[in-house]
């Protein structure tokens, strides 16, 4: 059986028996692949070479060996036609079932909005025939093929930006999503100021669990100093501590100087102090000590940090640094999120694809940090660690709150892809990833307003002592 690198899928003739435009494009692709010494299955020629009398057997053999399926489409009816649908659905199923762990589908279309493609195809790479000529497309496909081959030679599965799994396989993908880099997230992204305000409101009940625990165990001291590490615009610090009669000062730090300046303008509470400081800078300890000295602060009584650790390259190192500034028997409160806690019903496929696509974004944060809080605190020298969880869901909330929960948990995900695309607008992969995420989020947001749709997620809150 001959092995193929690429399977070219196309509708050969129309209902009147005439050659389709797709067939002419397929022939040009085949010739270009041959000139690049890439083994491609092109049925009009390959079946003649094989001499097979059974069409389906030849197709199946080629599908089994191919690493990439290129699907040509100038008409949706052609893509949905019997044999063409059989080809891409078979290839797609092999990817989902782990038969082709590094397999890839690339659609090459014209006059077809990528959002109009069959749902199974929307999360794959889509290239426009109008914007990308045959030579450029084949060069793009060759790069994908080279990446797959290099990964196989290295003995690891290729992790392409468009790799997908659904259903039970989602767990295995999530477990590989640990962050080993600093997130490129910025609180100055467009609309982030309003999203963070919604988030502060939605997570109030979660933080209250931690505050109640500290109060019940005698952790509130008179004249306390609070540190909010990663404060952004200060919404949470103001709400949780701004009116606490036992707190004298609330020191809020963030690495974004423009956000800190905006926060200073937004808050008039005399207890609140805003300073720019990068938790992961080499000289953070020295910088932070200087900040404390300027404001006459000896020690921190309560460290609070919400949804910050998952953006850091080395959370444990930061927690150890912060511990040095914590008063004896002082408390720390951490709030994290975890994409593994997100559930919805009845249709989970789109959410699963969005989450998995998010994990492939350049500079994405650690989307599984919630489950790591206990270990991170224990490894960093804290004691009496308690972990709490608080569920947020769509039941018994109104239309506006549904919109807010969607914005908090999903709307920002396109920003990672937008930022990557803006670095190089000529990069088709980045553009397709960005456009796919925008379209997927738009579709998923619509589900949030459907009466029979249910969604939930958990906040994870950790409390510990020095």
Helix (H) or strand (E) run with residue 229 in it: strand 224-229
- By the 10 Å C-beta count (0-12 exposed, 13-18 middle, 19+ buried), 436 is classed as buried
Where does the chain hold its CATH 3.40.50.150 domain(s)?
Answer: 192-465
Higher local confidence (pLDDT), 386 or 182: 386
Where does the chain hold its CATH 3.40.50.10140 domain(s)?
Answer: 6-164
What is the per-residue pLDDT across 204-216, written as a single tens digit (0 to 9) for each?
999 999 999 999 9
| Percent of the chain residues past pLDDT 90, beyond the cut | 68
| pTM as predicted | 0.65
pLDDT of 24 higher than 90: yes
Q: Which fold has domain 6-164?
A: Rossmann fold (3.40.50)
What is the distance between the alpha carbons of residues 226 and 245, in angstroms, rounded to a whole number?
12
Mean pLDDT across the chain, nearest whole number?
89
Whether 94 contacts 100, CB under 8 Å: yes
- 192-465: in CATH 3.90.1150.110: no
> Which three-class secondary structure state does DSSP give residue 308?
coil
What is the distance between the alpha carbons of residues 254 and 395, in angstroms, rounded to a whole number?
34
What is the per-residue pLDDT across 351-386, written as a single tens digit (0 to 9) for each?
988 998 898 888 899 989 999 999 999 999 999 999
Whether 339 contacts 369, CB under 8 Å: no
What is the per-residue pLDDT across 405-443, written as a single tens digit (0 to 9) for each?
999 999 999 999 999 999 988 877 788 888 888 988 998
> Which three-class secondary structure state does DSSP give residue 154?
helix
Report pLDDT for 123. 84
Distances (CA, A) of 49 to 30, 52, 299: 14, 8, 80
Report pLDDT for 191. 81
Whether 210 contacts 389, CB under 8 Å: no
What is the per-residue pLDDT across 62-107, written as a single tens digit (0 to 9) for each?
899 999 999 999 999 999 998 899 999 999 999 988 899 889 999 9
Length of the chain (residues)? 466
Burial pattern 339-364, b for ≥16 Cβ within 10 A else e, equals bbbbebeeebebbbbbbbbbbbbeeb
What's the token pair of residue 308? Answer: 């910050």
């Amino acid at each position: 059986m001959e092995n193929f690198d690429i399977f070219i899928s196309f509708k050969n003739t129309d209902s009147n028996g005439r050659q389709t435009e797709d067939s002419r494009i397929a022939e040009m692709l085949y010739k270009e692949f041959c000139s690049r010494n890439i083994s491609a299955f092109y049925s009009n020629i390959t079946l003649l070479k094989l001499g097979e009398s059974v069409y389906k057997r030849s197709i199946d053999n080629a599908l089994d060996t191919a690493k990439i399926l290129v699907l040509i489409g100038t008409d949706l009816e052609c893509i949905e036609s019997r044999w063409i649908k059989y080809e891409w659905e078979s290839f797609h199923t092999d990817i989902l079932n782990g038969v082709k762990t590094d397999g890839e589908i690339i659609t090459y279309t014209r006059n077809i909005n990528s959002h109009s493609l069959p749902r199974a195809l929307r999360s794959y790479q889509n290239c426009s025939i109008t914007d990308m000529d045959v030579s450029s497309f084949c060069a793009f496909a060759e790069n994908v093929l080279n990446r797959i081959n290099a990964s196989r030679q290295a003995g690891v599965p290729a992790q392409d930006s468009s790799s997908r799994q659904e259903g039970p396989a989602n767990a295995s993908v999530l477990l590989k999503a640990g962050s080993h880099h600093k997130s490129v997230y910025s609180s100055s992204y467009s609309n982030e100021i309003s999203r963070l305000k919604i988030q502060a409101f939605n997570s109030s009940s979660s933080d209250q669990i931690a505050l109640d625990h500290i109060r019940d165990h005698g952790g509130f001291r008179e004249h306390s100093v609070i540190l909010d590490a990663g404060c952004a615009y200060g919404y949470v610090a103001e709400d949780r501590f701004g009116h606490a009669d036992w707190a004298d000062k609330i020191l809020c730090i963030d690495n974004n100087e423009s956000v800190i300046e905006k926060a200073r303008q937004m808050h008039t509470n005399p207890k609140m102090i805003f300073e720019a400081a990068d938790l992961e800078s080499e000289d953070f300890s020295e910088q932070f000590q200087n900040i404390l000295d300027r404001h006459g602060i000896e020690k921190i009584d309560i460290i609070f940090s919400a949804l910050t650790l998952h953006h850091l390259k080395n959370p444990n190192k930061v927690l150890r640094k912060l511990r040095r500034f914590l008063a004896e028997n002082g408390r720390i409160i951490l709030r994290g999120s975890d994409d593994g806690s997100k559930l919805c019903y009845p249709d989970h496929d789109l959410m699963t694809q969005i989450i998995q696509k998010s994990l492939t974004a350049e500079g994405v944060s650690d989307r599984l940090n919630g489950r790591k809080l206990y270990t991170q605190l224990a490894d960093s020298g804290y004691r009496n660690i308690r972990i709490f969880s608080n569920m947020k869901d769509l039941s018994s909330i109104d239309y506006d709150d549904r919109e807010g929960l969607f914005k908090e948990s999903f709307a920002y995900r396109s920003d990672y892809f937008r930022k990557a695309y803006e670095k190089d607008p000529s990069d088709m992969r980045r553009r397709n990833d960005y456009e796919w995420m925008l379209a997927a989020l738009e579709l998923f947001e619509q589900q949030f307003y459907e009466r029979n749709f249910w969604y939930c997620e958990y906040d994870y809150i950790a409390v510990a002592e020095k």
